[in-house]
Amino acid sequence: MLLAKYAQSSEAAPMWLLTYLACTGVPDTSDTLVTINEGFDSRLAFNLDKAFDEAFDETNMPGATLAVYVPDEGTWAAARGYANYDEGIAAETDSRFGVGSITKTFVSSVILQLETEGELSIDDKVTAWLPEETQWNMVTLRDLLGHTSGIDDFIDELDLVVDLSRYWTGDELVALVANKPLLFKPGTDYEYSNTNYVLLGVIIERVTLNYWRDEVRTRLIEPLNLDRTHLPGDGEYIEDWIVHGYIGSQGIFLDVSESSHPSTAGAAGEMVSCTEDLLTWMAALYGGEVLEPEQLQAMTTEESPRMGYGLGCDIETRSGERLLGHGGASMGYQARMHWSDDSGMATATLVNNFFVEADIIDDPAWSTIIGY
């Protein structure tokens, strides 16, 4: 199966007031670069340093970044290891990684904004906007958002595609599974499928007459000043390089950053971002600045209690805290973001080894701040 499958406010992110190297000298895999707000509790910072270092040392990854927000304390962020393993370039706290399916939180938000504007309803049938897709005439936009459509995942078909280096349209990706039977009757079960969100991207274009990437940029990325968040599938110019993505272990890593065109993930997972931007995004989204209350409630209500998923939103309870967010994976990268609906605490974790889940670092960070 193709690896890509696993694919704080509205103001700019907080100004960093203190930066230091946990170890002196040129950074290597034993060095941790830490960026922290002045006044952040020193004991909590120490414990986060310790948790991050221990988790990183127990895994095989070229590099990782972690950012944590705690109300009344501010933001702590750290980077460890390499952004470019082969050239020995250290990761930094604002390094940009592929974030995979975290892209879905942006696409879902655009759809829900369009519902607020009266342009569509999430209970519309897919065929209301894509009349040519008659095989999905019982599937609603809500089914797409919550992965209850029963539509097969196009990612499984990419193994059979010869040229993954070229630009792919959403329509082309959808066509890979258009003739596949539904896995179940829409609305009766749950099966995560990237095709759902590629279809939502196509629907955004049909409704707005604009490219879905441009709608995400103008509605969300630009107003929230997410300056290090990008959708590279259409060739968006990015001023400096992105962290390289790898597969491998035990110090042997294969750079897979350019093994496929970003558009092969499209609206399901092509986004690039950094932990600082993800903290800003979560606080704006789950804090009620992006969606109207009715749409935010819909997003954060479980469509499938069995799987803990809403409309483009992972939902779980941990140590009494209701956590919202999403995970993501793309070729060479893993990502995780969590925001507490109870306390406003948040974490964002990015790693550049597809074989290492971001939860390995994110989970100890949550244990540290919940116990604070």
Query: Residue 111 pLDDT more than 60?
Result: yes
* 30 or 60: which leads in pLDDT: 60
Q: Which tens digits make up the pLDDT trace of 302-345?
A: 987 778 999 999 999 988 899 999 999 999 999 999 999 999 99
Tokens 């950094």 correspond to 274
Does position 78 have pLDDT exceeding 70, yes or no? yes
The pLDDT score that the predictor gives to residue 206 is 98
CATH number of the domain located at residue range(s) 1-7+96-359 in this protein: 3.40.710.10
**Helix/strand/coil (H, E, C) string of the chain?**
CCHHHCCCCCCCCCCCCEEEECCCCCCCCCCEEEEECCCCCHHHHHHHHHHHHHHHHCCCCCEEEEEEEECCCEEEEEEEEEEECCCCEECCCCCCEECHHHHHHHHHHHHHHHHHCCCCCCCCEHHHHCCCCHHHCCCEHHHHHHCCCCCCCCHHHHCCCCCCCCCCCHHHHHHCCCCCCCCCCCCCCCCCCHHHHHHHHHHHHHHHCCCHHHHHHHHHHCCCCCCCCECHHHCCCCCCCCCCCEEEECCEEEECCCCCCHHHCHHHCCCEECHHHHHHHHHHHHCCCCCCHHHHHHHCCCCECCCCECCCCEEEEECCEEEEEEEEEECCEEEEEEEECCCCCEEEEEECECCCCCHHHHHHHHHHHHCC
> How confident is the model at residue 23, as a pLDDT?
31
Global pTM value: 0.91
What value does the mean pLDDT of the chain take? 89
% residues pLDDT > 70 (the chain): 91
Convert the pLDDT of each residue in 139-177 to its tens digit: 999 999 999 999 999 998 887 776 888 999 999 999 999
pLDDT band at 31 (very low <50, low <70, confident <90, very high): low
34 vs 103 pLDDT, higher one: 103
Supply the pLDDT for residue 220: 99
Decide if pLDDT at 10 tops 70: no
pLDDT at 2 over 60: no
pLDDT in tens, 245-279: 999 988 899 999 888 899 999 999 999 999 999 99
**Bridge partners, 315 (sequence order):** 324
Of 110, 141, 119, the residue nearest 215 (C-alpha): 110
- Taking only the tens place, the pLDDT of each residue in 212-248 is 999 999 999 999 999 999 999 998 877 677 899 999 9
| pLDDT of residue 3 exceeding 70 | no
Q: Average of pLDDT values for 37-47?
A: 91
How confident is the model at residue 11, as a pLDDT?
28
Q: What's the rounded Cα separation, in Å, for the pair 233 and 237?
A: 10
